[in-house]
Amino acid sequence: MILEIILALLLGILAGTFTGISPGIHINLVSSLIVSSLPFLSFIHPITIAIFIVAMSITHTFLDFIPSIFIGAPEEDSFLSILPGHQLLLEGRGYEAFIITLYGSLAALIIIILLAPIFILILPFIYNATKLAIPFVLIFISLYIIFREENFLISLIVFLLSGFLGFLTFNLPIKEPLMPLLTGLFGLSSLFISIKSKSKIPKQEIAPLRSITLTKPELLKSLLAIFISSPFCSFLPGIGSSHSATIGSEIIQQTKKGFLFLVGATNTIIMGLSFITIYAIGKARSGTADAIKDILQTITLHDIVLIIITILLSGILASILGIILARFFVRYINKINYQYITLFTILILFIINLIFSNLLGILVLITATSLGIFAISSNSRRINLMGSLIVPAIVYYLFY
């Protein structure tokens, strides 16, 4: 059993590396494929499959900043890194930008270990006390983020349209509804946009790790913002790391480096705590957490200890892989034809959705892709596309 778990951990890290550096291929897609294939995986112990998904998910959060910084093809959890990340990339400091997000993710491992027992002990009481207020909190957070936009009308339209699409998707007879919805909104849309992008990337510098640091004020401000926003956002339905980082940076102003550290940390914290949340309150707050809930059915304390150990080990190994891969990208970024890679990825994603969804799912995929392209083209922050998950959650808590 131990060898089986170690193999699942290593394979999960390998899968998370693939999804992390592949634009448009999300861990929710892989998790959906695994859940769809459970009848064929009955010979594997459920906790082994869960370990694979946890390792993949944590590794993904460490590495998904590589395409968002170096290629400009982010996902919903890493798109906030584009602005400061690309600013440093255009200064020849893309490697430095990525390493800072890596520092944030490593710090997140310690924070997850510290918060896990607190979550297990007090989250059930907090959740039961605030359950009735959850839809109103979601409405407040969404409106706050929307009306902070320069063009809040467009952002409101994007949020409502994505919310309507999400509500329809979850109420139509679509197999694996999250797959076409998230693939279109955050995957294919950014891939189609990236085909048009032909910006010239300057020669990049590989600075020694010891020279890539944050000042004490930058670090303290980032950590304070993390502790203010991440625990609160981690158990709210439809709220992801992008919301947490936005709220944290709004409360405590960040420098470019501080913001990258903040985004890296919240990305990993929200993912890690989503697995703890299943055990604490029985609710899944991410696509991969939902997959684990389906796989394990009942999660024991022994399971959650194994999951926490997996989070720690996969994060440490992912950080080493991240340094190696970032150096590779820096050396060869100008020699890789990303248009061919992008076209191939688009084709693969469409075929996967065609196989595991139905014709209604393909219609959702096309609609979601169009909405995602509209959001990017209209300069609406892609955080507003999370309305696809937030609006159904609000409707559920208000009327069901």
Q: What is the per-residue pLDDT across 183-194, written as a single tens digit (0 to 9) for each? A: 888 778 877 877
pLDDT, average across residues 136-148: 88
Tell me which of 336 and 30 has the higher pLDDT: 30
pLDDT tens profile 259-269: 899 989 998 99
pLDDT, average across residues 298-303: 89
- Given this model, what pLDDT does residue 76 score? 47
pLDDT tens profile 153-186: 999 999 999 999 999 999 999 877 877 887 888 7
DSSP-derived secondary structure for 355-368: HHS-HHHHHHHHHH
**pTM (predicted TM-score):** 0.82
**Count of domains for the chain:** 1
Tell me which of 86 and 320 has the higher pLDDT: 320
Which residue do the tokens 């688009």 mark? 346
Q: Answer whether residue 112 shows pLDDT above 70.
A: yes
- Given this model, what pLDDT does residue 206 score? 87
- Given this model, what pLDDT does residue 245 score? 77
Q: Answer whether residue 4 shows pLDDT above 70.
A: yes
CB 52 within 8 A of CB 80: no
Q: What is the spatial distance between Cα 60 and Cα 67, in angstroms, rounded to a whole number?
A: 11
Q: What is the spatial distance between Cα 75 and Cα 78, in angstroms, rounded to a whole number?
A: 5
Alpha helices (H) along 300-337: 301-332
- Given this model, what pLDDT does residue 322 score? 95
Tell me which of 15 and 69 has the higher pLDDT: 15
Q: Which domain holds residue 6?
A: 2-399
